[in-house]
Structure 1
């Protein structure tokens, strides 16, 4: 059995499970709720995360993005469009395909600037979006670089779902959430946080307190680039 047939069989089996179907609906709704407010904020011309200081690494980016004229509006329109398409059953796949590059960019950006506002949520949204694409594999498999196309048609909604609870799958979901939270907490030895006070708190009563305070002031008071502040921190830390 070739890889295309194996994927078809595996996908067909997954689509028969009621719990996985419920999870796909949950992902669609949460993804839409994540993009609609953010998109409308951009369409209305307001700066996203306006409470975040311009001196913050993410603040630098958002402030510059806010002043890109209709490009900023375009991003908002794309976010709202992707969200609406995800909510309409006939356009789920198109919505997920539009959603993917946007959330992938947000995810990488969040890690690059160590932004705790989406340090955990963005990767989870990316995984949820990939799940939606996997759930609709029968719609996108024809554009995948397989040598042999599938002979199986689109998978229709089953007349009767299997009620077997996929323990292994949801264990993996919980594990993924836990790993992302652990990475957020322990993945970096220093985080800029979202305010000067919160930034300094992570260094209180530690051997890096003085270097940490200088790092926080470098970010939130002086508004220097993250890389420069991290280099200064590494030079000053004992």
Structure 2
């Protein structure tokens, strides 16, 4: 409980700081905008990322998802609902709780199929969502598996915020953004990219050029699954 007490003392401090508060609003607005845009596509019955070939791993997934009927519409409604709840101050905590499993699913899907379209944005959205949940810790703490709770209560909006800029916090935010982008760029030896031309560019003038071109053909022309194409690429480069 000593660690929790220290955290709650720190939490009480940051809730009085204008920059932490502004960052929470910034995260809420961006997350809401992203889900409203993505959700409305589904509600209107259009295929998300319609320009992506159905032979692409993510394109094949989205095409199949598009044909699930009312389930596809339900996902769109859930996204828009989460976004609206995030924008309303009284329901922001509920919105963040609804938002979390959806965006984590998108994050894992993006990594699983190495989709460039959301391989950077989706993990950053997860971090932003977690920040909102932490910002609203005083409201969700009773959902956590603690044996006992302090008398922290609900922290009210202060009459006057502290304007001290939290350099350490925003330095950490910047580092997380850089590391996320770096992992997306260098974390995977091979990615299918979004088109045959872009896929081939990553192998031009490299020792694995021939095997790489075969990998791209395997994905974009033959329409094989990612694991099959990766296995063939690894076998060819191991020789």
Deviations 1:70-102 (A, max 9, x none): 110000000000000100010000000000000
* CA distance, structure 2, for counterparts of residue 170 and residue 147 of structure 1: 33
Q: Does 1:93 align with 2:78?
A: no
* TM-score, L = length of structure 2: 0.98
Q: What's the counterpart of residue 191 of structure 2? A: 191
What is the DSSP-based 3-state SS (H/G/I as helix, E as strand, rest coil) of the residue aligned with 1:155?
Answer: coil
* CA distance, structure 2, for counterparts of residue 172 and residue 152 of structure 1: 27
What is the DSSP-based 3-state SS (H/G/I as helix, E as strand, rest coil) of the residue aligned with 2:192?
Answer: coil
Q: Does 1:164 align with 2:150?
A: no
What is the DSSP-based 3-state SS (H/G/I as helix, E as strand, rest coil) of the residue aligned with 2:164?
Answer: coil
- Count of equivalent residues: 238
* CA distance, structure 2, for counterparts of residue 62 and residue 125 of structure 1: 20
Deviations 1:143-169 (A, max 9, x none): 100111232210100111111110010
- The answer to whether the Cα contact below 8 Å between 1:4 and 1:149 also exists between their aligned partners in 2 is no
Q: What's the counterpart of residue 207 of structure 1? A: 207
* CA distance, structure 2, for counterparts of residue 10 and residue 114 of structure 1: 38
What is the DSSP-based 3-state SS (H/G/I as helix, E as strand, rest coil) of the residue aligned with 1:145?
Answer: coil
* CA distance, structure 2, for counterparts of residue 3 and residue 145 of structure 1: 15
Task: For 1:82-161, list aligned pairs within 5 A.
Answer: 82-161=82-161
Structural RMSD (CA):
0.9
* CA distance, structure 1, for counterparts of residue 188 and residue 3 of structure 2: 39
Q: How far 1:10 moved relative to its partner?
A: 1.8
Q: What's the counterpart of residue 78 of structure 1? A: 78
Q: How far 1:178 moved relative to its partner?
A: 0.4
* TM-score, L = length of structure 1: 0.98
* CA distance, structure 1, for counterparts of residue 42 and residue 33 of structure 2: 15
Unaligned runs of 5+ in 2: none
